[in-house]
Amino acid sequence: MKKHKFLQSQVLCKFSVNTRCISCNTNQPVEELENFFINISLENKFCGNTVTTITQLLEAQKEWKSSNDECFMCESNVLEKSTTISSTSNTLIINLNPFIIKNDSFEKINLKVRDLANTPLTINKSIYVLQSGIFHKGRDLTNAHYYTLHKFHDIWYKLDDTSITESAWPRLSEDAHMLFYEKV
Ligand SMILES: [Zn+2]
């Protein structure tokens, strides 16, 4: 239990969810949520040839998205939600969910993020640098191989089953699935 608490304190991320009613223009009570990682669902606009940045992906989380909750004022179900990160711990875990459901099956999205390994992230005035990444090699969830890249003394190493080799971070972060940042 103590160990679990320690892990929580290292990785827990807090979010504020703002909801507004489109019908009566009333702001709903702000919800405070927490999770072990930031989930980024990659949408079509970030796929294919679009080279984007990690900051753009995080900013997209703040965009207003439609919600079917019920307005406490007028009981309408036409609302919008926006999520912002309110606080983070020393380690920040980002899950780049590279799968979308298409024709009842999962399709992998081909994300391209430029220069991710050298781009620090700023969240609520804290600066984070990329330390590790988990990569997904394969077309879907079941037929895949996972490996890790980890930075040690400014050199990137690939941990792939039992082998550890020096290996640069992919230029456009192809196949990156989970990112681990450390506060500096
Ligand atoms: Zn309303």
Tell me the per-residue pLDDT of 110-162, one tens digit each, with 9 for 90 and over.
778 888 899 999 988 899 999 999 999 987 777 789 999 999 999 999 999 99
Q: What is the distance in A from the centroid of ligand 1 to the CA of 101?
A: 31
Task: Write the pLDDT tens digit of every residue in 81-103.
Answer: 999 998 888 999 999 887 877 77
If you average pLDDT over residues 31-47, what whole number do you get?
81
User: pLDDT value at position 154?
Assistant: 93
Computed over every residue of the chain, the mean pLDDT equals 88
Q: What is the distance in A from the centroid of ligand 1 to the CA of 28?
A: 9
Domains for the chain: give ranges and CATH numbers: 2-183 (3.90.70.10)
pTM of the model: 0.86
Q: What is the distance in A from the centroid of ligand 1 to the CA of 76?
A: 5
Write down the H helix ranges in the chain.
2-11, 54-60
Mark the residues whose beta carbon lies below 5 A from ion ligand 1: 21, 23-24, 26, 71, 73-74, 76
Q: What is the distance in A from the centroid of ligand 1 to the CA of 161?
A: 54
Among residues 37, 22, 171, 169, the alpha carbon closest in space to that of 93 is found at 37
DSSP 46: G
User: pLDDT value at position 44?
Assistant: 62
Which is more confidently placed, 47 or 1?
A: 47
User: pLDDT value at position 20?
Assistant: 97
